[in-house]
Amino acid sequence: MLFIYQPTDKNMEQFIKPPVEVRYSEELSALEKNDKARRPANWRLSPAAVRTFILGGDVDTPDGKVKIKRKFYGNDALVERAIITLAGNRGLMLVGEPGTAKTMLSELLSAACCGISTNTVQGTAGTTEDMIKYSWNYALLLSKGPCREALVPSPLLIGMEKGIFARFEEITRTPAEIQDSLISVMSDQILNIPEMGDEGLVLAKPGFNIIGTANTRDKGVNEMSGALKRRFNFETVEPVRDVRLEKEIIVREASELAKTANISCPVDTDVAELLAVTYHELREGITSDGTVIERPNAVMSTAEAVSVYYQALCHSWYYGNGRIEPALLTEGLLGAVCKENKDDLEKLRAYFRTVSKEKSKAGDLWKEYIKTADLLR
């Protein structure tokens, strides 16, 4: 009998990161109970309700409207295409720079469509074929031979038998020959277990699909074969281009992290805006006044910005008075930006020299921030 982890603990908030289906269980329940639209076989929600769950909206219930908050900030049309791709039994590949919320989007899609987001393969250089398909309990294999009881199913096999999605994170970190083990399954929707003879043919149930994620700008990745690429629809998740939106994401995510860590320090929106502007200008290679600057080699993702802000928040909570000093942001930037290429340090210094002239009239917070450039050494 195959086992799928189903969170049942009522106190899941005690954990660092509860699964999406637990974290947003009330929203999913409200959507499911009031979802009258057409839905694909074995899906928990209709495509329209999945869109509402991810992009936000209102749900009419007998007790009034229920507000569904937005969870993914980006291209709404991309989300709609991704849902239709999955509804059409076509594999979905989310590609983009690191930190663009590809994993989060795949989790949201899996939780909304299947009710479970934890059926996952994490791609690494050490990922083997049995981690994707199946392996054996060798004690049982020796005593009983190749039988169902001795079989240890991996996410792909679980997804096929249960009719749910299998998520493959960072698939391009996996060696190319291991990636290609997906080709036959995606083409024929059949997995053959030759050791079990006639009983070893597993046919995929309706609802089964694969969501993959891959970084386009990273070290240690392997190119996907053309044959495997043809089994997927590719969607590129772009970085956030709007400073106000990036600020909103930093505030929201930092607030959630602080709540999880029982940090009651309020999130400073002005500091969040300062950090969002810094990341936006370094990423785009141009300041708000139109001055061209050199872009760092490091990936300036929104996820990194959230991390920098949260580290500063923790420092101010445990060591300070709860106020985030600009110097803490600069120290965080030093670690985030200059970890891959030593030339990025000089680019970061040059940025501070440039904005010292442009932002001198932007307020006391910017003046205080610019003075911390001495920490960049």
As a CATH number, domain 12-236 is 3.40.50.300
Residue extents of the structural domains in the chain = 12-236, 243-375
Render pLDDT for 48-70 as a digit per residue (tens, 0 to 9): 999 999 999 999 888 888 999 99
Residue of 232, 358, 236 lying closest to 293 (CA atoms): 358
d(CA 375, CA 167): 42
Percent of the chain with pLDDT over 90: 68
pLDDT at 14: 66
Rounded to the nearest integer, the mean pLDDT of the chain is 90
191 has pLDDT over 90: yes
Question: CA–CA separation, 176 vs 323, rounded Å?
Answer: 49
pLDDT at 129 over 50: yes
Closest to 128 (Cα-Cα) out of 168, 179, 195: 179
Instruction: Name the strands in the sheet holding 209-215, side by side, starting at the edge strand that comes first in the sequence.
Output: 120-122, 165-169, 209-215, 91-96, 232-236
The pair of structure tokens assigned to 371 is 């003075």
| Res. 77: pLDDT tops 60 | yes
Tell me what pLDDT residue 358 has. Answer: 76
pLDDT score of 27 more than 70 = yes
How sure is the predictor about 297, in pLDDT bands with cuts at 50, 70 and 90? confident
- CB within 8 Å of 28: residues ≥ 6 apart: 21, 44, 45, 53, 111, 112, 115
Strand partners, 203: 190
Give the per-residue pLDDT at 3.
39
* pLDDT of 12: 55
Q: In this predicted model, what pLDDT tens digit does every residue of 139-174 receive, in sequence order?
A: 999 999 999 899 999 999 999 999 999 999 999 999
| Structure confidence by residue, pLDDT tens digits, 323-348 | 899 999 999 998 888 887 888 899 99
pTM metric for this prediction: 0.90
pLDDT tens-place string over residues 256-293: 899 888 898 888 999 999 999 999 999 999 988 888 99
- Which tens digit of pLDDT belongs to each residue from 2-22? 334 444 445 555 677 889 999
Residue 11 pLDDT? 54
Give the tokens for residue 199: 């009983």
